[in-house]
Amino acid sequence: MAEQELTENVALGEEIPAIEREKVEGEYGAEQIQVLDGLEHIRKRPGMYISSTDSKGLHHLVHEVVDNSIDEALAGYCTHIEVTLNQDGSCTVQDNGRGIPTGIHPKEGISTLEVVFTKVNAGGKFGGDSGYKVSSGLHGVGVKAVNALSEWLDAEVYQNGNVYKQTYNRGVPQRDVQVVGKTELTGTKVTFMPDADIFETTVFMYDTLKGRLRELAYLNKGLRITLEDTRAGQERKDSFCYEGGIRSFVEELNKNREELLFPTPVYFEEKDGDTVCEVAIQYNDSYNEVIYSYANNVNTIDGGTHVEGLKMALTKVINEAGKKHNILKDNDKLTGEDVREGITAVVSVKLTNAQFESQTKDKLNNSFIRAFVNKCVSEHVATFLEENPSAAKELVLRCITAQKARDAARQARELTRRKGVLESSALPGKLADCADKRAELCEIYIVEGDSAGGTAKTGRDRRFQAILPLRGKILNVEKVRLNRVLENEEIKSMITAFGCGILDDFDESKLRYDRIISMTDADVDGAHIRILLYTFLFRYMRPLIEHGHVYAAKPPLYKASHKVGGKEVVDYLYSEEEKIEYDKNATTKIEYQRYKGLGEMSKEQLWDTTMNPETRTLIRVTMEDAAEADQMFTMLMGENPELRRKFIEENASLVTDLDI
């Protein structure tokens, strides 16, 4: 573990060390020094380049190849990108750009195509007139990592009337670049098969790719991105192209909102040399602040200087509008939180030499972007408010209402903070805490009901497992402001137990448990309790979901008993499909017990099936597409029942086992 952590802390922008030291028992001499060059290092330490070797890392391979095509689009040469999931399990990415250069590289003495796919730290993203001025990639590793971590990869380039091709096996070229045909097309086509020796799974998920590709189409207006699945029984196809760019993105985000302050988003795009600022803003009737930010198409989930510029400008301009319309007095002042309640905004910047806080690119650091975005937003939003005085007045009045509610929430916060809710100084009485205080080793089960909570408390491993029972269903936070949220006893108990605070008080370093596990009955009520919990975490502690701390336990549906050789054999089945398969394979009479709730299990059964790390199944709650998640919470948990009715009608055919 220590070696892995040390390796992952090496920034991707640094030169990859030529020597990798491995210590073994006995003498430590020259024979223990291992030399790893280029792609061999990628195969040995894949986590350095694609973050993980699970499903997330697998899909990252596709994103890396697509990013190369996006760079061609940013440079003005590509209008269509096609991503195909092939029947054999491989993936193809094809664009109609200029095609990767195929001539002999002056320094390496081999085809530039081979250099691009095999030579680490070689690429067109390091400055100079011939490279990409704006690019999401910074380190020249992307497609090299894809090549190194693929069982095989075929690269085809269409240019100069020819089709050029080279094949690689686990990153090693199998032959020189060859002309294999004639064509009138231009562009690049990459087909790769992920290496099963590297990845935990090599099965691509269509919906996971769909979310990111749709997002890229919004961020690059006019670019068409097509995704097609040709695998047997999974055939489907989607094509995304948005001439409105991020304006269309904001309209999509707000499509489930009943009341909008103005019908179309405020939208603008400003350029200063190679720097581009694109912003779309619209206000709705919710109590949430939704701002998505991007730098060179990278989703900067932790914001950065571009978001700071946006927020500063909005606060200034809306305060000025309030004074101009005599709604705010000279001494009155709206805060940033006040002016952003109900906002849906997307800010996308494109710039040369983007500086990010870390190799995960979660936060943009270029200081000049703050002033540039501030200037652009100030000018365009001020113009909009001046040209639309009624909308300006309504916006200011809404912000004043938000301020009053926020004052009430602030008082509630101060009260709960004094009582220890936000500072975790006094743990809730019904929490059965664990003995170990090292957060990285601990987990907390959020359990439905006192009965199941009691069973879980007696059946747990007290060393690292904590139990917090919930009484009934928690408040639906989608429909209320913060002051109401902080009045709810069940929510206060969770805030106290987790220890990391909420919203602006949130501090992940204070989280008391690495895993937060919802454990509810396998019925409709249990599912409702889970979605209420996830709504609260999504709106008030979103980083817990983004950083992989939230899980769902999977209790069994059935206990199956039968006798073999006079002895009773017990198995647990977790779905109707498992029960059908179990029936098919049965050679003796089987007795089934259908669990209607966790409280029906003994402490031994609950431990064996749902809580024992050696035998349990946990489902990690992830958020591959934050925008789609936001829409889903709005639709399912918001004020508009018509949207829920429509959703149920459209998806009713997908229900195969409804427990009522």
Q: Which of the residues are catalytic?
A: 448, 521, 523, 525
Q: Output the DSSP codes for 236-273.
A: EEEEE--TTTHHHHHHHHTTT-S-BSSSS-EEEEEEET
Alpha helices in 232-358 (DSSP H): 246-253, 305-324, 336-340
3-state SS assignment for residue 158: strand
Beta-carbon neighbour count of residue 504 at 10 Å? Answer: 8
Between CA 614 and CA 607 the distance in angstroms is 10
* Residue 579, CB-side half-sphere exposure with 13 Å CA sphere: 15
Strands 515-519 and 558-564: unpaired
Supply 305's token pair.
Answer: 């200087």
Eight-state DSSP code of residue 135: -
Name the nearest CA neighbour of 185 among 206, 209, 214, 164: 164
Contact 8, 47 (CB under 8 A): yes
Supply 534's token pair.
Answer: 């996830």
Q: In the chain, what is the straight-line distance between the N-terminal and C-terminal CA atoms, in Å?
A: 46
Between CA 422 and CA 414 the distance in angstroms is 9
Between CA 219 and CA 250 the distance in angstroms is 11
User: Between the CA of residue 56 and those of 86, 280, 550, what are the distances in Å?
Assistant: 19, 29, 16
Give CA 517 to chain center in angstroms.
Answer: 19
Supply 620's token pair.
Answer: 């990690």
Give CA 505 to chain center in angstroms.
Answer: 22
Name the nearest CA neighbour of 395 among 326, 346, 341: 341
User: Between the CA of residue 93 and those of 63, 69, 197, what are the distances in Å?
Assistant: 10, 8, 22
Name the nearest CA neighbour of 516 among 464, 445, 465: 445
Between CA 443 and CA 428 the distance in angstroms is 16
Contact 585, 568 (CB under 8 A): no
Residue 571: strand pairing partners: 560
Which phi and psi (to 5°) does residue 552 adopt? -120, 130
Name the nearest CA neighbour of 61 among 193, 173, 170: 193
* Residue 324, CB-side half-sphere exposure with 13 Å CA sphere: 14
Burial 153-173 (b: 16+ CB within 10 A, else e): bbbbbbbeebbbbbbbebbeb
Between CA 373 and CA 367 the distance in angstroms is 11
